[in-house]
Structures are given as C-alpha cells and as structure tokens.
Amino acid sequence: MGLTQDPKTDNHTNARDRRYLARYLVLTIVLMVPLVFSFAFIRNLYPFAASTMMLRDRDRGSDYYILRGETLTGETIDLPPINLTDALSGRHWSLVSAAVENKSFQITSLHPENARLAAAHVGDDLPRAARLDELLRAWGLIYNSRLPEASPQRLRSVRLDAYRWKGEIAGDSGQFVESWRALL
C-alpha cells in the first residue's frame, strides 16, 4: 500500500496531521504529569500508579490468612480464592485484609448499607470484620454452585483463619490468632 499522493487533499491531510500532533502533546502531558506527581508524592491516585509494590515495613511482622472450607462430610479443605474469583487475580490477600480491618468503613463516602450499619453502632465500636461473613458466604456459594446438588464435596461452611508472622525469616512461620466461620 502506498502513501497518499492526491494534491487536492494535501491541505486537508496536513491539517489533520497537525491535529494529531496537538493530540499527542496533550496526551503526553495528561499521562506523564500525573505519573510524575504520583511518583514524587509516592501516592496512588487511580488511574495513576506510584509503583509501590515490593516494599514492606521491615521492622514489623504481619497477619496472614488461610481460607478453608468444611465439606458436608466434615472434611476440611484449602480454598484458594483465586479458583473462585479469578478476576481479582493478585488482590485477594489485600481484599481479605481490608475486610478484616473494616476498611470499607474508613472511606469518606460510605456505601448506604455501610453507613446504616455504622450509624447503628454509634457509641459502641463497629464489630471487627463486620462484612467478612458476607465475603466468606459469597465464596462458599460460588464453590457450591460448581458442584452437583448431591455432591458430598459441597461446603457447609467457610472459615478464615488468621495467623501472625513476627517477621523473622529464620523463626516460626506463624501463630494462630483467630478464626471466622460463615455457615452456608
């Protein structure tokens, strides 16, 4: 395919090309300036990322979680959530941690249902992991929906076990802290 050679369209083509160049200039500014600001202030402001993965607080341990299910036969199985909600690839650990810490109640504009729940607990503290039960039930229902009604492998409950890791690389890999269980 050759390039356009029609002289009648030259002016029109040049004007269009110039519009593209102006568009590129604006695009570069709109993308790069917020990215540089995100970097300068080390702040993620969607859709501009500060690339803060692979950083950790070196002097602190952390809590971690294991998701498990209990089948109708009483067997306890590991339930990696990537097999249940694959869309959240790479994010399940932060979703669970945020649910345990009630982070959806710590934003400026609460979901109306969260606002109602928070209002009902004015004066006393909101229970820890207030919405975790719904999350565990949702995962359990997704798991069960893939099995026949009569399957003994269906779950009757989903459990989240929390452990604390002290951050010592040569030490204990974790101590049990607490557990939450959602009946299906």
Partner 1 sequence: MVRAGVCGFVFCEILLTSFSDLGQLPVTLLRPTGAMKLLPWRLYDLLLTPGGMLGFKCLMVISLGAATLGCFTSLATKASALLFVFYEGVLRSFGHFNHDEMPAVYILVVLALAPCGDAFSLDNLRGKTRLRRSEILYGYPILLMRILLAWSYFSSALIKLRVAGLGYLSADNLPALAIEHSLDNLHDTQYKFAFSLPQISKYTPIFVGLALAWELLFPLAIFFRRARFIILTIGIGFHLATMFLMNIFFPYHIAMYVVFVDWGRFLAKVRSWADRRVRRPEPPSLIERLTPP
Please identify which residue in 72, 95, 126, 184 interacts with partner 1, judged by CB under 8 A.
95
Contact between 46 and partner 1 per CB under 8 A: yes
Site for partner 1 in 97-156 (CB under 8 A): 98-99, 103-104, 106-109, 111-114, 131, 134-135, 138, 141-142
The least CB distance from residue 6 to partner 1, in Å, is 10
Q: Which helix (H) or strand (E) holds 1?
A: none
Please identify which residue in 33, 120, 167, 172 interacts with partner 1, judged by CB under 8 A.
167
Please identify which residue in 7, 74, 90, 123 interacts with partner 1, judged by CB under 8 A.
90
Q: Which is nearer to partner 1, 72 or 98 (CB)?
A: 98
Place of tokens 């300068």: 40
Region of 23-31, 120-128, 147-155, 176-184 interacting with partner 1 (CB under 8 A): 23-31
Rounded Cα gap, residues 144 and 30, in angstroms: 46
Q: What would the two tokens of residue 133 be?
A: 């039960």
- DSSP 3-state assignment of 174? coil
Q: Which is nearer to partner 1, 5 or 73 (CB)?
A: 5
Residue from 138, 123, 146 nearest 182 by CA: 138
- The torsion angles phi and psi of 157, rounded to 5 degrees, stand at -155, 160
Return the number of other C-beta atoms located less than 10 Å from residue 113's C-beta. Answer: 9
